[in-house]
Amino acid sequence: MKPVVLAIALFLAHSTLLGQLKPSEYLKRMEAEKMADPAGEKKVRDLLKAMTLEEKVGQMTQLTHTVWVDEGVPFLANGDPGQVFSLDTNKFIPLVRDLHIGSFLNGIAVPPQKWYDYITTLQRITLRYNRHGIPMIYGMDHMHGVNYIEGGTIFPHNINLASTFDPRFAYRMGQVTSTESADLGHHWIFAPVYDIGRNPRFPRFYETLGEDPFLAGMMGAAIAKGIQENKEALPFKQAATAKHYLGYSDPKSGWDRSPAEISDQTLFEFHVPSFAAGIQAGVKTVMINSGEINSIPVHASYRLLTTLLRDELGFKGVTVTDWQDIMRLHDTHKTADSQKEAVYQGIMAGVDMSMTPYTTDFHRHLVELVKEGRIPMARIDLSVARILRLKVDLGLFENPYPRNDRFDRVGAPAHRQSALETARESLVLLKNEGVLPLEPGKVNKIVVTGPYANMKRNLAGGWSLRWIPTDDRLFPADMPTVWTALQQVYGKKAVMAREENLSDAAQGADAIIVVAGELPYSEGSGNVYDLTLDESQLRLIRAAQATGKPVVVIMVAGRPRVVREVYPATRAFLWAGLPGFEGATAIAEVISGAVNPSGKLSFSYPNYPGMYYTYDHKYHDLDIFRNFTDNKTMMAFFGDGLSYTTFRYDELKISGTEFSGNQSIKVSVKVTNTGSRAGKEAVLWYLTDEYASVTRPVKQLKHFEKQELAPGQSRVFEFEIAPQHLSFPVADGSRKLEDGYFRVSVGGQEARFQYRK
């Protein structure tokens, strides 16, 4: 190829990759996204007309608090309280005065009054210097309740939330988050995470709503609605964030932000649906995946950020980069040979706002790129219009300042009660050979052991009070640990022991409870070489088993740490995940039987660190080698979970065994509580497509419902199967519906039917 032809070809390839559009096309997009409220849209258009380029780019820039805040130390060397979170207005003023920066983020858990003072000051300075009166918008990582407000309510992490199989808890978590934080000027919540938990080595596994796209979509949509539609927060409104779009959670190495290879089929089948559900629920913003998929950094992917997100999924809100990610196009992905080129790539791919978050270089580069004519003003206007609409939509122009007359909402008893109820239903009993519950009246003595038995921060995990909480003294004095919660129930009958004195302590004990798990981690700090539980904890479990007493393992962790070697001799195993501040109370209630467990695993639990598959794997994953395996490749699957009562499923009825066109058929099943105590049961409906042109998962969750049943009580559960349940996505993103035979299954019952177009 001649150099000039090559240059043109490269230019074309590059421009389609980055989507250099004609100005008229940006205008068309801007028109198509306009607000339903004409007055709001007029305000946005008027502002755009009046703003300079520098002012516009200021709206597209987001900086983090440590640029003008000294986080300080919570404790002095002598243990006395230290100074935290002091604001230096001299560092802040130039940002809004000279560069017109319009968005800020982040913090640590400080008391409501401190947040109130801080945000009031930032907003006052912003409005003093912004000649158009455009307020700043502040973003916060409240990922499981208000984890960055001292005294606030902290829910379980998402991996637990999903195992409740009850979207009402998800909605409530969003609502409580909003009620406790909106008054303080936290306008923008960087949650929910819509990444899908299909790779347990990924250190942010616990932030996902599990492995199933349908469950994650239902729960994730409910969280977003809880945040965005919360009437209790009025006059304030908040934006939720669908993050981290797209394909973040399954990097090849498992390590945070490392490259992913994801086929389009897999992308549409497993990664897109939860984001699509969030967008359908009205989520106002999207945060972008820091990684790269198939050698294209997502921050530079026009296809993902514009074609798929805007044109196909219909998203009209604001996209924000993740931490430093435009810069990383140059620094680590190396698709851009300079910082400025990186800005060009990100913006032309579809980024609206850059979380830079430490420097203002982005501002300078983007202004230059427009002045040089490389980026059209119409492209800038499109993003700025989206950002201004968000500010108008949230009512920031009318209510820019926080309020301080409702601080009693932070950590309110009713909110903590919701967090407790969520924690209770999120615990999954995976094994119970006649040990649990340990009824207090019948117990002589229980021995509690393990490095995490008397710790608070392990229950909350990362994103709790600090990005990575490293000190238990940060946590509320009244927050129980598993050990202190058990003491509440059993008093002196619960004794703490160490490995050295375990066999002595075990004398006369009814059971030994080992609290296993992990210390808190966030993002890359949680990368591991091996999913196996560390040797010192395995040794402790073996020592407990060697006493001959029944051993109960409580796993408090963010991902399924492998325990294959000690599992067979473990008599009861409770997956507690990261149950939050009320988690220990819930654990003690389940151990003692005050609460009947009803959680079901939101992911699959491996038996080996090197072998993993999800419940919705392909036939070919296993069938051809079935004879060579011991069939114990996995310890447990998505949907597993025991109760202290038993449920019988029978009388599966199907309204027809053939249907066609747009018809639907009804299936019902009777579920009976056949045990002697009340219990909640999540009824999970799966469909199997017997033969298809694209290989199908062995089964897929299509509907679920959780209800309480009294002893002896029966209820009929229903699922109406429509053609959309039978269709599946293909690699170009469209859906395919094929004639054939299908099976519907629920609780071991199964029926077969035929569908014809």
Residues that bind ligand BGC in the complex, under the rule CB under 6 A: 105-106, 141, 190, 243, 322-323, 467, 523
Spatial distance between the Cα atoms of 344 and 367, rounded to a whole number of angstroms: 11
* Measured distance between the N- and C-terminal CA atoms of the chain, rounded to whole angstroms: 50
Spatial distance between the Cα atoms of 523 and 207, rounded to a whole number of angstroms: 10
| Closest C-alpha among 506, 518, 396, 352 to residue 451 | 518
The pair of structure tokens assigned to 750 is 């199964």
Specify whether the CB–CB gap between 627 and 711 falls below 8 A: no
Specify whether the CB–CB gap between 23 and 376 falls below 8 A: yes
**Rg over CA atoms, the chain:** 27
Question: Is the backbone of residue 520 left (phi > 0), alpha (psi -120 to 50) or beta?
Answer: beta
CA atoms within 13 A on the CB side of 319: 31
SS (HEC) of 659-720: EECCCCEEEEEEEEECCCCCEEEEEEEEEEECCCCCCCECCEEEEEEEEEECCCCEEEEEEE
Q: Which residues contact 148 (CB under 8 A, 6 or more apart)?
A: 107, 108, 109, 110, 140, 141, 142, 465
Exposure of 120 by Cβ count < 10 A (0-12 exposed, 13-18 middle, 19+ buried)? middle
Specify whether the CB–CB gap between 584 and 421 falls below 8 A: no
Task: Please give the full DSSP string across 485-538, using - where no structure is assigned.
Answer: HHHHHHGGGEEE--GGGHHHHTTT-SEEEEEEE-----GGGG--S--BPPHHHH
Q: How far is CA 61 from CA 120, 339, 347, 363, 573, in A?
A: 20, 15, 12, 7, 48
Specify whether the CB–CB gap between 311 and 33 falls below 8 A: no
Work out the angle at residue 324's Cα, subtended by the Cα atoms of residues 323 and 328, and round it to the nearest 5 degrees.
Answer: 125
Dihedral of the alpha carbons of 420, 425, 427, 429, in degrees to the nearest 10: 140
Location of structure tokens 């430490």: 358
Specify whether the CB–CB gap between 592 and 489 falls below 8 A: yes
Spatial distance between the Cα atoms of 4 and 482, rounded to a whole number of angstroms: 70
Residue 452 CA to its chain's centroid (Å): 24
CA atoms within 13 A on the CB side of 41: 10
Q: Which residues contact 399 (CB under 8 A, 6 or more apart)?
A: 235, 236
Instruction: State phi, psi for 176 to the nearest 5 degrees.
Output: -65, -40
The residue from 322, 352, 381, 689 that is catalytic is: 322
Active site annotation includes 322: yes
Question: Which DSSP state fits 37?
Answer: S
Spatial distance between the Cα atoms of 287 and 303, rounded to a whole number of angstroms: 16
Q: Which residues contact 7 (CB under 8 A, 6 or more apart)?
A: none
Specify whether the CB–CB gap between 617 and 644 falls below 8 A: no
Asked whether the bond before 244 is cis by omega within 30 degrees of 0, the reply is: yes
Q: Which residues contact 306 (CB under 8 A, 6 or more apart)?
A: 19, 349, 350
The pair of structure tokens assigned to 650 is 């029978």
Specify whether the CB–CB gap between 659 and 755 falls below 8 A: yes
Spatial distance between the Cα atoms of 655 and 510, rounded to a whole number of angstroms: 51
- Which active-site residues does the annotation give? 322
